[in-house]
Amino acid sequence: MDRMNDTLIDVPRGLTNVVAATTALGDVRGHEGFYHYRQYSAIDLARERSFEEAWYLLLFGELPAAGELAAFRTRIAEARRLPEPVAELLPAIARLTAGGDALAGLRMALAAVAAADGMRPVYDEDEEARLRDAIRIAAVTPVLLASLHAYAEGRTPLEPRDDLGHVADYLRLITGRTPDAAHEHALSAYLTAAIDHGFNASTFTARVIASTGADVGAAVDGALGALSGPLHGGAPSRALDTLDAIGTPERIDAWITETVRSGGRVMGFGHAVYRTEDPRSALLKEVAEGFGGERVDFAVRVEERVQQLLAELKPGRELHTNVEFYAGIVMELCGIPRELFTPTFAAARVVGWTAHILEQAADGKILRPSSRYVGPPAPEPLPGRPIAA
């Protein structure tokens, strides 16, 4: 609901289809199965361009020329270096989150980076300072994730390498080896496709916090908090768990039928926005099939049979694979452990969040909706009447 001239306007629960702000960063057209970053198809960018090029596009509005891209990559590499006090703090953060909550560890680590860098509220910064902070937070995120993961495994983290691209070095920091071109491209395609996707809960959270004038680190930490919720963060690892639970091709029909009839959910199928095939799923299926192998063949067979069975068991409801189904396959093929699937998604989405933070900060208007009170009747206000104990 919004308040205009003291009149409350009812809107759908969850703000579904309510336009809360304008953006020049991109759009999702769910009924068409299409989304874009600025003036380019997001899927075309994921197929044909590097992660850094898409990042540059969101920040500056155009794809970079060769010299601009080289300078931007240098800037990213410099921004990936950890402040010494933060590097010293990471083992303690890893111990605090020893249960495997990588997003909680990342929130603490990013708050430490913001403090160590002396990040100021965006309200008090000029455009260049805001841009510097946005690049810093997005660039350092994968380094923090990889370092926390290494400490959790009892290893000493590797240092970032300036001569590798953003995606290649993230894979190296996680797996301990420099990836080949095929694995770098596969992960780059996924991460580029995951940078932004409309006013989802975490992106909107980032914009709300940015609208208060808070610093970039605080806004990204809020977005991470929203992403940690089970209703938003996605479940690429759970989609793989489904494949593991089914086990063999001959068990597909029985497992799916039993799951659906018992009211369970088949992870990796259905999306809140898309009413046709999720374009990200189609892209990642292509990437996975490029590697081939029994795991990929089994996933394709499960996808085909699940859609057939869901059409029979839930007539009238057209459910397709979403991004999670093949994202898990691609990340597994690239050597990323399951506990880092959602954090890896966050390492991409932080680029989108920071672009939205910059856009919201430039707007300068605090987001302050109204609510409709539905509790017990309140007394009529009288001037000077004391509140009863």
pLDDT digits (tens, 9 = 90+) for 265-290: 777 776 667 667 789 999 999 999 99
Please enumerate in sequence order all residues whose Cβ is within 8 A of that of 315, keeping only pairs 6 or more positions apart, or say none.
Answer: none
Most confident of 26-35, 232-241, 314-323, 344-353: 344-353
Q: Looking at the predicted structure, is the pLDDT value of residue 1 above 60?
A: no
Is 271 known to be catalytic?
yes
Strand, coil or helix: 34: strand
Annotated active-site residue in 271, 303, 332, 356: 271
Is 324 known to be catalytic?
yes
- The CB density around residue 32, as the number of other CB atoms within 10 Å, is 11
Q: Which of 284, 260, 88 is nearest to 186 (CA)?
A: 284
Annotated active-site residue in 52, 184, 303, 324: 324
**pLDDT attached to residue 4:** 46
- At 2, the pLDDT band (50, 70, 90 cuts) reads very low
Inter-residue contact 363 to 211 (CB < 8 Å): yes
